[in-house]
A and B are shown apart, each in its own frame.
Chain A
Amino acid sequence: MTLRITLATAARVLRQVRRDRRTLALVLLVPPLLMTLFRYVFDGQPETFDRVGPPLVGIFPFVSLFLVASIAMLRERTTGTLERLMSMPLAKLDLLLGYAIAFALLAVAQASLTAAVSFGLLGLDSTGPVWLVVVLAVANAVLGMALGLFLSAFAQTEFQAVQFMPAFVLPQVLLAGLLVPRDKMAPLLELISYAMPLTYAYDALARATADELGRRLTIDVVLICAFIVLSLVLGATTLRRRTA
């Protein structure tokens, strides 16, 4: 792995994102707009908005970066640029970390904007520190990106890659405890939820919002990081120097 190549890759990915103005606008503006929608859907139940609002600020980046990353990597595969890179002196980690850095920066912008709108304009309340919600949101974005890079290897077309969102992301959102507390679900589902990365992401966000900054939050964060590393390693195994 070479820092020079990793950073060059991050710069290249950011340049591509910047070129695609429409995608950039969608990534940055859709989460704040959805938060606004939530705010007025729950107009009569402000306490519900205060409960699900902060975790949502942290979950949007997971979903949108998952999609962006899986399409981006699929494109590298289908246009032949991945094969070119793999025939060059570039380590697999240079590519994956380059993507991680670029998309983490994008997530910082997205999460900050969403948090500013939600906590500033929409009157969302958090007992815990708002900066921690933003930090966790960025970690979730990196997690979503790493999963997206890995899973994109199993999609042959963009149609398939897009379907991975409802297939892999929505069940995790349902099982994470956002809609229904996990201990109220069917026991089997609760058991499955322990294996899902988003469960810990949601738990961390809920604890940060409730100002429960203890050992459990630390464990959540460690697990999120472990899932990120695991996904990147799995992602690296799908990058092949030789193909059939």
Chain B
Amino acid sequence: MSHIDILTLEVGQEVGSDSFTFTRDSLVKYAGASGDFNPIHYRDDFAKSVGLDGVLAHGMLTMGTAVQVVVNWVGDAGKVIDYGVRFTKPVFVDANEGAVVTVVAKIGAIDLEAKTVRVDITCVSNEVAVLGKAQAVVKL
């Protein structure tokens, strides 16, 4: 059961927004949690040696964080049954300043029969969209 009444929802309605600050610590934590130890996510010298402007966040960190706005709305991480994104731009994480990622989630489609809602997510850092076609289907 969900506390959300699907009949009260409208396409285009905003269901949540939040900002997250990624620091170098966040990247190291995600590396450990996920097992992705690619040094482009924590070593400036290595990132530069492969032609990057600097250390960047794991795309999967951005993807995993962005969906939390949807999870917080629905109240149950287990209700997100389908979630996909395109990685459009890297999130460069400055050693001192970090990087702020801003997420907005809006209703994209409602399926009354299946009792599912598609939530469309925008995710912006440094004024550019870092995820494209980010959509999460939630079972209500």
Partners in one complex: no
Q: A residues engaging B (CB < 8 A)?
A: none
